[in-house]
Each structure stands twice: as C-alpha cells, then as structure tokens.
Amino acid sequence: MDEHAEKNLKRFEELAERARRSSVYTYSSFHSTETASLAYRVAGENEVTLWGGTDNSERVVARFGDPKELGYEEDFPIRVVCIRPKQEKFADSLTHRDFLGAVLNLGIERDVVGDILISEHTAYLFVLEELADFVCLELERVRRTAVKCELVSAVPEGCIPKLREETVTVASPRLDAILAKAYHLSRGEAKSLFDAEKVTVNGKICTNPETVLKADSKVSIRGFGKFEYRGEEHATRKGKTGITIWRYV
C-alpha cells in the first residue's frame, strides 16, 4: 500500500472510531470508488455506506455509522450546483476539464468536489455541502464564458450515464473470465487487474479473480469502465455460459 492509501486508511479509521464513540454519522471527503472502498478495511459492512449523488457516481463520500445501531437515517452532506451560461448562444464548447478547472481556481481542494455531469452547455456539480454556497457566489466564469450558478435538488435524468445491455459468452462464470471477454483482454491481463487492486465489486476492492458474482452486483474496473452483472442467461451447446451485463455508456 502506498503512502497516499495509508493516509486515507488512517483517516477512515479515525472517522469510524468517532462514529462508534459519539453515536453519530461521520463523513469523509470525496474519493474515487477504489479509494473509498478502503473504508471496509476498518469498519464492518453495516457501518459503511458509499454515495456520490447518483447510483453510478465515479467519486463518492464514505459515511461511517450503522443505521440500526444509531436508530436513525441521515442525508449525505452533498449538494448539486447547476452551472449554466448567462447567454448560451455566446457560450464556449465547455468540457469536464474546463468546469473542474474553474471550480479549483476558486481555491477549492479537489476532495470536496465529486462528479461533474454535463448536458450541452450546462454542468451539474456535486460538492460538499459546506462549500456549495461559496461556489454559487464566487464562480462567475468558465474559460471565457460568463456563468450563473444555483443549487438544485437533483440532476436531470438525461444527464445520468446510461446502461446498455450486453451478453457475453464465457467458459467460466469467474469474474476474471467475464472481464477478459467484456474488455477484450487475455486471462493474464484480466488477472493483473486484481493484483493491482483495480477491480471493485459493490464498492469493495476485489483481489480474487475466481470471484463468482451475485446477480445485480456492480463492478468497476479502473481505466476500463463499469457494469452491472445481471446473472447467467443460458448454456451454449459447447458448454459455455451466456452472461448478461449492463454496461455504463
């Protein structure tokens, strides 16, 4: 484990212990799903919830605290800021990098910012609640485009990444076989992803290439993408298995 991962793990340990000691929920900043999954190494599965604003967020906050033990639920401290041009007809063609750069130029650290979803000239920024008002007040320009910001309750459905159904035929229902087929890799290349801790299943790092998925499992592979596993569909005449996945596009 590298120094950065050890630092995050120590921070997660502190948050988990504070949640247990004080009987309140505690929250991390935003992390990649792979980094956030380290939370499961310091707390039980019932004590950790990962959420970034949508079911398929790339960047998430780790919440520590078991709802059954605490006896109540609580919303994550995440707000959505809508960033749109003041005059759309004069707006530049803006990218994720442009919006992120403009936000960070306000002096904000990367770990308070989650996903940025873009629809045409408008961006929807997930940000920690404590800085949401600051972004709305201070962000006035993205590149050369004058913008206005407002807090919104949700992201339009059309901005959320879509799922595409696919069927892959594999010799074994093992996860490394599914990854190899889905991403056109050799079995050796697929196995190396587990050694490098690039594979997460339902938010947890998976290092076992022989893992057999349960239906509705969510799989993310850093650098490749992610999909939802829906289960085995059928056996072929050659003894192979048809697997249905829903790939994020």
Q: What angle do CA 96, 197, 205 make, to 5 degrees?
A: 85
Over residues 9-62, the pLDDT tens digits come to: 999 999 999 999 999 999 999 999 889 999 999 999 999 999 999 988 989 999
Delimit the CATH 3.10.290.10 region(s) of the chain. Answer: 163-248
**Mean pLDDT value of segment 215-234:** 86
- Which CATH class for the 78-159 domain? alpha beta
* Residue 248 pLDDT: 81
Query: Is-contact 118 159, C-beta < 8 A?
Result: yes
Query: Is-contact 147 92, C-beta < 8 A?
Result: no
Over residues 187-211, the pLDDT tens digits come to: 899 999 999 989 999 888 899 999 9
**Taking the C-alpha atoms of 227, 230, 231 and 233 in order, what is their torsion angle to the nearest 10 degrees?**
-110
d(CA 74, CA 237) in angstroms, rounded, equals: 51
| CATH number for the domain formed by residue range(s) 163-248 | 3.10.290.10
* Residue 233 pLDDT: 67
Distances (CA, A) of 83 to 93, 102, 195: 14, 11, 40
CATH for 3-70, options being 3.30.1370, 3.40.720, 3.40.50, 3.90.1200: 3.30.1370
SS3 content of the chain, % helix, strand, coil (to 5): 35, 35, 30
